[in-house]
Amino acid sequence: MNEREPESQSGEDRLIARYFRPLATHPGARALIDDAATFTPPAGVDIVLTTDALVGGVHFFADDPPDTIAKKALRVNLSDLAAKGSRPAGFLLSLALPAGIGEEWLEAFARGLGADAQAYGCALLGGDTVRTTGPVTLSITAFGTLPRDTMVGRSGARAGDLVVVTGTIGDAALGLLVRRDPEIAERWQLDPAQRDHLIERYLLPQPRNAVAEALRQHASAAMDVSDGLAGDLGKLCAASNVAADVGIARVPLSDASSQAIASDPALMETALTGGDDYEVVATVPAEARDALMADAKAAGVALTEIGIIRADRPGMHFLDQVGKPLLFKKPSFSHF
Amino acid sequence: MNEREPESQSGEDRLIARYFRPLATHPGARALIDDAATFTPPAGVDIVLTTDALVGGVHFFADDPPDTIAKKALRVNLSDLAAKGSRPAGFLLSLALPAGIGEEWLEAFARGLGADAQAYGCALLGGDTVRTTGPVTLSITAFGTLPRDTMVGRSGARAGDLVVVTGTIGDAALGLLVRRDPEIAERWQLDPAQRDHLIERYLLPQPRNAVAEALRQHASAAMDVSDGLAGDLGKLCAASNVAADVGIARVPLSDASSQAIASDPALMETALTGGDDYEVVATVPAEARDALMADAKAAGVALTEIGIIRADRPGMHFLDQVGKPLLFKKPSFSHF
């Protein structure tokens, strides 16, 4: 866009120039003035591609802070790249905006997006901005790189492998309940820090890109936990044609989730089957366990061993303290 | 997904398995059961990336045939890849569906998408399917390849280059008017074939991928015409810091558009400034003109010389039969 020629700028061009061009720092983005971006792949790599969409009123609240909406949209994609063992390289943003969205919202949105693009080394390469009569809808396609044929898939888990998970499970699902009904925090006897922790974990995933390289080197299978640990580990088991036994007492919980579950034990099911964790569940051969744990520790990512893979009919089983399987009403979150 | 384990399948999984897995024929798509796809770039290539979103009620009518909606969503992206001189390699689909969408719609949508993915050699590699309270919203990110550092940009036009355009201009903008008001076809005295031609051109772009390699070899600059020839060539001029003179009588029109404009000469402005052409406008050094024309002819793509690039203040100018510049109220289409 030539600044001397304002009559050739449409409203969309102005919006892009003002809010998104400052983020397009990668030379392949061509300052967002071309039809397409370019990416020059390093020799010997595979490109890992993922796309995730977020819809206002479905995946976030319309009045969530716009910077966190932008960050969440990027982070749910970064989480996929992390689980596959790849290094983020760039992303494209497709943004459908209703007429009521103002400058302040866009400025905050772009600020959040730019901060995370820089923090995670994942540059904005291009995008499209359109009008919608519906809610704000964002779709991000992110891509990363890794040495050829080394993507960590879902299908590599083998009998005897250990099951590990990053971070803590269930915070976001419980945080969503608190976000919907603030009084629930009192019923659960959460202190303000615990309440804020759960809400924050729903608003803003913490993708585990710091542990991606360790997963690539040691894990036999991995996926990100976005639709609940129960359902997602079940999918990994189905893809690998194995069973997983997970000790329910071994599943890592935050102080806040532990307190909520102590107040209402039925919330354990919510924690294990709710969505939006954006942690990584992985399997690792027993002989690689210590190396993976050491690398994760060095990367500053908590990694907890929670179970074991068995050669059996595919499925995942939560076992209580005495080894008895637990059954859930709905193993996985789905909007459909 | 393991078919023996239906209880681990969510509604989204079933939808993907039923309608989209049959399209995921590329090995990098991993049958859509993983978090991400892989693409192994051939040696010495750049990846060209583009994303375009379509919103129901904004970019298509809610009652348009679902197979053409799918095709249009892919083709508008293919059009960008063509204009940049790249060969399509694959795409990811993000699909937000309102609750009312049924099996029949999805079946037709997937059928149309699969037919074009095959016809254009652009494989479905991955996607995301989400719920929305708004209209059907599709975002496609497509990528292609080309030899390193050979993408045809917007900024390479030089004084003396000739301006060429593929196909015919204005059909889709006029087709949209016919689509909105069927009686208009009578006022324009179109015969049924002419009427159907305009409507079809709005429904279903014809991306010019067949001429991509010729553009890559000979064009100095190119872009796809999606927001009107006037505005888009203006953008190319701004990016190249040049002016373009286009003879209005040289702009290629279909029989149908010629008839409509003969009935109402004011429609010429609609044809030149309306959107959705999805043709390619390019500039070519005079010495490469004949080679480009010959290659386009061999590829079966009509290519018409319409003007010349001048060293002047950036801008594009339509000249009438006696060389007098024409002025338009709104050079480019924008939803913003």
Q: Do B336 and A48 touch (CB under 8 A)?
A: no
**Pairing between β-strand A45-55 and β-strand B87-97 as defined by DSSP bridges:** unpaired
User: A205 with A278: CB under 8 angstroms?
Assistant: yes
Looking at per-residue pLDDT, the higher value among A31 and B39 belongs to: B39
- In B41-169, where does DSSP find H-type helix? 66-83, 103-119
State whether A55 and B314 contact (CB < 8 Å). no
CA A37, CA B47: separation in Å to the nearest integer? 8
Looking at residue A166, what is its pLDDT? 98
Mean pLDDT, residues A134-150:
98
Is the CB of residue B294 less than 8 Å from the CB of residue B288? no
The pLDDT tens digits of the residues spanning B249-275 come to 999 999 999 999 999 999 999 999 998
Most B CBs within 10 Å, among A34, A327, A335, to test the B interface: A34
Report whether A137 contacts B96 (CB < 8 A).
Answer: yes
Q: Which of B51, B122, B145, B224 to mutate to test the interface with A (most CBs of A within 10 A)?
A: B51
pLDDT-derived band at A210, boundaries 50, 70, 90: very high
Average pLDDT over residues B141-166: 98
Contact yes or no for A38 and B59 at CB 8 A: no
DSSP helix, strand, coil percent of chain B (3-state; round to 5): 40, 25, 35
Query: What's the whole-number mean pLDDT along residues A199-216?
Result: 97
B213/A216 Cα distance (integer angstroms): 37
Average model confidence (pLDDT) across chain A: 93
> What's the gap in Å between the CA of B202 and the closest CA on chain A?
18
Cα distances from A304 to residues A280, A292, A310, B35, B140, in angstroms, run 11, 11, 18, 22, 37
**What CA–CA distance (Å, rounded) separates B76 from A36?**
12
Mean pLDDT of the residues in chain B: 93
- Please check whether residue A236 is in contact with residue A281, taking contact to mean a CB–CB distance below 8 angstroms: yes
Q: Provide the β-strand partners of residue B55.
A: B137
Continuous H helices in chain B: 11-15, 66-83, 103-119, 171-180, 184-187, 192-203, 212-218, 229-240, 255-263, 267-273, 289-299
* pLDDT greater than 90 at residue A294: yes
| Nearest chain A Cα distance for residue B280, angstroms | 11
Find the mean pLDDT for residues A61-81.
96
What are the structural domains, with CATH classification, of chain A?
Answer: 11-147 (3.30.1330.10), 162-321 (3.90.650.10)
Rg (CA), chain A: 21
Q: How far apart are CA B277 and CA B273, in angstroms?
A: 10
- pTM (predicted TM-score): 0.93
State the pairing for strand pair A303-310/A243-247: antiparallel
Q: How many CB pairs under 8 A join A and B?
A: 277
Is the pLDDT at B5 greater than 50? The verdict is no
Which of A51, A125, A216, A236 is the mutation pick for testing B, counting most B CBs within 10 A? A51
Q: What is the tens place of the pLDDT at every residue in A300-334?
A: 999 999 999 999 999 999 998 888 988 776 666 55
Token duo for residue A253: 């919980």
pLDDT: which is higher, B18 or B332: B18
Q: Give the model's pLDDT for residue A14.
A: 85
Say whether A33 and B235 touch across the interface (CB within 8 A). yes
Tokens of A256: 């806040």
Please say whether the beta carbons of B154 and B236 come within 8 A: yes
Question: B97 forms bridges with which residues in the sheet?
Answer: B131
A3 has a pLDDT exceeding 80: no
Contact (Cβ atoms closer than 8 angstroms) between residue B65 and residue B155: no
Band the pLDDT of A57: cuts 50, 70, 90.
very high
